[in-house]
């Protein structure tokens, strides 16, 4: 660990607590599954995943130095494949039914989650460590509607599993962390419609809904601000859209 100087630009906060790592991995079944790990770093979570006997594990790591170290570390292990790329420039299309696991780089965690929804047909579950604040932003069961909650609800069942103290990382992040889980739904989504709708409806969250959209639903709903409506009300509008 000491030989690696963590890069702030890549949000490198390495896990150093085995109990927590085990607790994270226990949120899903690994045996015989295809695991896709984003930002494995030095392989701390990877080692624990491997103990649970996945069928394959694909690691995608942007940092050239870390990717080289991982290639050395796992050179004897045929189940491990290392991709030295940026997840934001990588399209998951060649795998099916994968479980995505990541202690996400916090500076781009929201971007990564939104991008992965586009590959939902290939994904079964996603288990992520994120900033606590981000974990709340995606929780459609909490008040204050936003586009992240809406998009999450369309794509997945969302569970906030547990919170994590900053002490289990090196270096310690300044923020609290949480483990969250997305179980991808089996439904069909019209992405164009969903994106179009959310761009319009969440454009001016401080204005009344009727200011953003011209639609024939109950005035009680249309007179509210979009961040004040419930998920149920939002879905009513969406169905009329």
Which of 20, 25, 34, 45 is close enough to bind ligand SAH by CB under 6 A?
45
Residue 14 or residue 150: which is nearer to ligand SAH going by CB? Answer: 14
Calculate ∠ Cα 27-130-116, nearest 5°.
80
Shortest Å, Cβ 174 to ligand SAH? 14
Shortest Å, Cβ 234 to ligand SAH? 31
Candidate segments 12-20, 178-186, 210-218, 232-240, binder of ligand SAH by CB under 6 A? 12-20
Sorted by sequence, the CB contacts under 8 Å of residue 206 that are 6+ apart come out as: 225, 227
Question: Looking up tokens 């992240």, which residue turns up?
Answer: 148
Tally of CB atoms within 10 A around 240 = 10
Within residues 97-156, the interface with ligand SAH by CB under 6 A covers 103, 105, 108
Shortest Å, Cβ 7 to ligand SAH? 7
Binding flags for ligand SAH, 60-89, as an x/- string (CB under 6 A): xxxx--x-------------------xxx-
Shortest Å, Cβ 97 to ligand SAH? 22
Q: Is the CB of residue 168 less than 8 Å from the CB of residue 20? A: yes
Residues that bind ligand SAH (CB under 6 A): 10-15, 38-41, 44-45, 60-63, 66, 86-88, 103, 105, 108
């Amino acid at each position: 660990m000491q030989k690696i100087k963590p890069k702030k630009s890549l949000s490198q906060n390495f896990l150093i607590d085995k109990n927590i790592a085990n607790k994270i991995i226990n949120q899903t079944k690994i045996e015989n599954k295809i695991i896709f790990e984003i930002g494995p770093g030095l392989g701390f979570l990877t080692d624990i995943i491997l103990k649970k006997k996945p069928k394959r594990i694909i690691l995608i790591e942007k940092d050239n130095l870390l990717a080289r170290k991982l290639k050395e570390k796992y050179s004897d292990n045929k189940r491990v494949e290392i991709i030295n790329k940026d997840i934001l420039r990588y399209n998951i299309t060649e795998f099916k039914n994968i479980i995505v696991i990541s202690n996400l780089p916090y500076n781009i965690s929201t971007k990564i989650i939104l991008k992965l929804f586009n590959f939902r047909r290939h994904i079964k579950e996603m288990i992520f460590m994120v900033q606590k604040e981000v974990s709340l932003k995606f929780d459609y069961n909490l008040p204050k509607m936003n586009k992240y909650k809406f998009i999450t609800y369309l794509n997945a069942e969302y569970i906030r599993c547990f919170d994590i103290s900053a002490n289990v990382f090196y270096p310690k992040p300044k923020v609290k962390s949480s483990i969250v889980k997305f179980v991808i739904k089996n439904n069909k989504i019209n992405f164009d419609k969903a994106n179009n709708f959310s761009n319009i409806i969440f454009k001016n969250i401080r204005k009344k809904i009727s200011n953003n959209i011209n639609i024939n639903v109950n005035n009680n709903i249309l007179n509210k601000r979009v961040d004040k409506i419930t998920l149920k009300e939002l879905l009513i509008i969406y169905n009329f859209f």
